[in-house]
Structure formats: structure tokens, C-alpha cells
Amino acid sequence: MSEPCTDLFELLQRRYSVRAFTEQVIEPELLEKIFSQAQQAPSNCNTQPWQAYVISGERCRRFAVQLSEAVAAGAPSLPDYEVTLGFFDEYRQRQVDCAFALYNSMGIERSDKLGRGAAMLRNFEFFGAPHVVFVAMPKTFGMVNALDVGIWLQTLNLVMESHGIGSCIQGALAYYPDLVRKELGLPEDDSMQILCGISFGYEDQDAAPNKTRTVRAPLAENISFFN
């Protein structure tokens, strides 16, 4: 478990995506505190469009089994929004590097299609986490509001890290929204679109996937300064 920390720069440096967890559940008081603190995220006209569904403990593990079995059995993926990635040039290269870093830490060869498939399936097992949160916003909302949700996601991410809790934001958890709605008891034509999920809990520090580290591009590749 990481030590709690309130220094922003240290948090930014030490945070990484966690993809293996211990079974220890987070105390309900701390869970509520984390989500309360993340509520401070700013948003366009203060509309706060994030809608989050947190599933914990036994129920989380049960759903992880159900979801991953359905995915393995070939359930159709019908996301609520366009998820075509279409990476090109440096974006494609960064995606390849990121996948390589993960597979390398897990000892999976690039040619090992089965191994990569099994690693992908771990997304739907919530990487063994005792908690998962599905994140949604109204179906009629678009890019501007998705920015707000993104800001909230990073706020939540850092708040979790500051309490010594590891997490992994997962776009993959948007791929089967109907199964999520069914689990949550929401109608199929619910007014919310599921954008992503986050598996979270206390990190299993010995697990291979958690040895994965990614790097960031040199500043000039992303940022231009004008005078």
C-alpha cells in the first residue's frame, strides 16, 4: 500500500495505473471521503455532469466474473459512444510503446496472441480489484461535457493516490454498457451514457503488471509557447 501523501508534485510523480490489487476493501467512510473530495473538480458552468456508480466487495467480484465470462464468450460490444481510436503517427507509436511496457512487465511476447487476449480480459475482471466505479454522463451531452468528466476523473485519480489507493481508468469498461446497466438495475434506454470505468483498491505491490512504467513525450512534442 502506498503511503498517504498530500504533496501534489509528489503525487503526480508517483502515480501510475495499477492493474493488480489486494482483496482488502476500502472502509466506507474513506470511500465516501474520496468521492466527496473529488466533487471539488471544476466544470463548465458548474454543471458537474459526472454520474458515478460504485460497486464494492462481494458484488464487485461477482460482477467481475459475470462480465469477463460474457466477454470471453463473445458478447457483442455496443458502446454508448464512438470509441474508434484511429491512432496515427506519434499517437500510434505511443500506444504501441504503452502496450509493450505492460506486456513486457507481464512477460508476454508480442507474438503471443493468446497471452495478449488474456491480459485484455483482465480489464473485465477489474484486475482483481475489490471496487469498480462506472462513470457516465447524460446521453445528450457531448465533447464540452466530456471535458468536465475528464477533469473529474483526474481529480478522483489523484485524490485516491493521496489516500494510498491505486486505480486504473479503463476505456475498455465502456464496451459493454448494457451489461453494466443490467447489473445496476438501470433501464436499457437509461438517459446516461457509460464513458469508462475505474478499478481501484489497495495495490498488490508484488504483482508483475504493477511494475509497468510509461514515459511522457518531451515538452516540445505537446506544448508550444508564443510570445
Backbone phi and psi for residue 58, each to the nearest 5 degrees, phi listed first: -50, -45
- Cα dihedral 55, 41, 151, 25 sign: negative
CB of 145 to ligand FMN, least distance (A): 15
By CB under 6 A, is residue 16 in contact with ligand FMN? yes
Of 123, 162, 193, 210, the residue at the interface with ligand FMN (CB under 6 A) is 123
Distance CA 227, CA 218 (A): 20
- How far apart are alpha carbons 118 and 225 in whole angstroms? 43
Judged by CB under 6 A, the chain residues 51 through 70 that form the site for ligand FMN are: none
Grid cell locating 113: 496472441
Q: Which of 20, 135, 172, 194 binds ligand FMN (CB under 6 A)?
A: 172
DSSP string, 142-194: -HHHHHHHHHHHHHHHHHHHHTT-EEEEEGGGGS-HHHHHHHHT--TT-SEEE
**Does the protein bind ligand FMN through residue 133 (CB under 6 A)?**
no
Q: Which is nearer to ligand FMN, 192 or 196 (CB)?
A: 196
Query: Stretches 62-70, 132-140, 164-172, 185-193: which one binds ligand FMN (CB under 6 A)?
Result: 164-172
Stretch that binds ligand FMN, among 46-54, 130-138, 166-174, 180-188 (CB under 6 A): 166-174
Task: Taking each helix axis as running N to C, give the angle between helix 143-162 and helix 28-38, from 0 to 180 degrees, rounded to the nearest 10.
Answer: 140
Q: Is 160 in the site for ligand FMN (CB under 6 A)?
A: no
Report which residue type is found at 1.
M
Nearer to ligand FMN, 16 or 35 (CB): 16
Choosing from 34, 55, 168, 198, the residue that interacts with ligand FMN (CB under 6 A) is: 168
* Interacting residue ranges for ligand FMN, rule: CB under 6 A: 16-17, 19, 98, 123, 168-172, 196, 214
